[in-house]
Amino acid sequence: MTATQIARRTLTHYKVLIILIGLGVTGSIAASGLSHLLRDIQIRQVKLLGDLRYLDAENLTKDLSVKFGGSYLDTTLTEVVSEVESHPWISNASVRRVWPDTLLIEIVEQRPVAVYNDTQYLGSSGDLFEPPELVEKPMPRLYGALSETSRVYSHYSVFSDRLADFAKVTSVSRGHDLGWEIALDQGFTLQLGRVDILGRLARARDILMRLDKDRLRQLRKVDARYDNGIALAWRPER
């Protein structure tokens, strides 16, 4: 429908309403007439708003247009929100009608910040989600209980900050024993245990900073679960 056709149709509806009121028709009858007119108007456009980087907006718009292309009044907004938010890439959404025939949907898209337990993505909102396709973006891998996603990610952030001038943290694990283990891009793991983890991290970092690059490449594991030192495990010599 063109803009001119929409304008003519809208003007016709207003004329009918004015005539009804001008003839002295009661408020209830006028309201009934207006409701009937509104029910004749169909949703003809679905528009998406938001910073969409991963979502296929074109396909989603088509799907929603087919599903909710009914009467302007019969389209339940809560149902639209529920349908939109069921998409794995959508964190939350809000919907409103725009006269005369449009549904305007504002979308907050998921922003993956890490891979969690090798099966799901952790969003910046703290939600876990499983999109139908893999994200082609390097991200840290985090491991832990599903109830501790925020805690594991916050520890990853702290560990990354404390080791920023030494190495890149590629993985953080919180084991069944509640101990912490870090994997670094230099190819070795760092065990911190359950207590005094930042003190142990600082002590291990100070010692590792004294090793040259060749020695660091030979490292397989660093165990910092000691009060006064660390244990180094080396790769077998070839």
- Strand extents, DSSP E, 110-224: 112-116, 120-123, 128-129, 141-143, 169-174, 180-184, 189-193, 219-223
Long-range contacts of 225-229 (CB under 8 A, 24+ apart): 225/179, 225/191, 225/192, 225/193, 225/200, 226/200, 229/203
Whole-angstrom CA distances from 5 to 9, 14, 41, 100 are 6, 14, 13, 11
- Looking only at the bridges linking them, the beta strands covering 45-49 and 189-193 are unpaired
Query: What is the average pLDDT across 12-18?
Result: 42
Picking from 206, 217, 222, 197, the residue whose alpha carbon sits closest to that of residue 165 is 206
pLDDT confidence band for 30 (50 / 70 / 90)? very low
Helix (H, G, I), strand (E, B) or coil at 122: strand
Tell the residue number behind the tokens 């169909």, with chain if given: 42
∠ CA 89-75-61, rounded to 5°: 35
Rounded CA separation 172/78 (Å): 39
pLDDT > 90: percent of the chain? 65
What pLDDT is recorded for position 82?
94
Select the more confidently predicted residue: 101 or 192. 192
pLDDT digits (tens, 9 = 90+) for 198-220: 999 999 999 999 999 999 999 99
pLDDT digits (tens, 9 = 90+) for 54-111: 999 999 999 998 888 776 666 788 999 999 999 999 999 999 988 888 889 999 999 9
**The token pair that represents 23 in the structure block:** 């003839």
What pLDDT is recorded for position 39?
59
**Homologous superfamily, domain 113-234:** Cell division protein FtsQ/DivIB (3.40.50.11690)
pLDDT confidence band for 11 (50 / 70 / 90)? very low
pLDDT digits (tens, 9 = 90+) for 107-154: 999 999 999 999 999 999 899 999 988 898 899 999 999 999 999 999
Rounded CA separation 78/100 (Å): 19
* Residue-averaged pLDDT of the chain: 85
**The token pair that represents 180 in the structure block:** 């912490």
* pLDDT reading at 196 higher than 70: yes
Rounded CA separation 207/213 (Å): 13
Rounded CA separation 145/137 (Å): 24
* pLDDT reading at 31 higher than 90: no
Domain 41-109: give its CATH code. Answer: 3.10.20.310
What pLDDT is recorded for position 3?
45
The residues spanned by each domain of the chain are: 1-40, 41-109, 113-234
pLDDT digits (tens, 9 = 90+) for 150-166: 999 999 999 999 999 99
**The token pair that represents 133 in the structure block:** 């396709």
| Amino acid residing at 4 | T
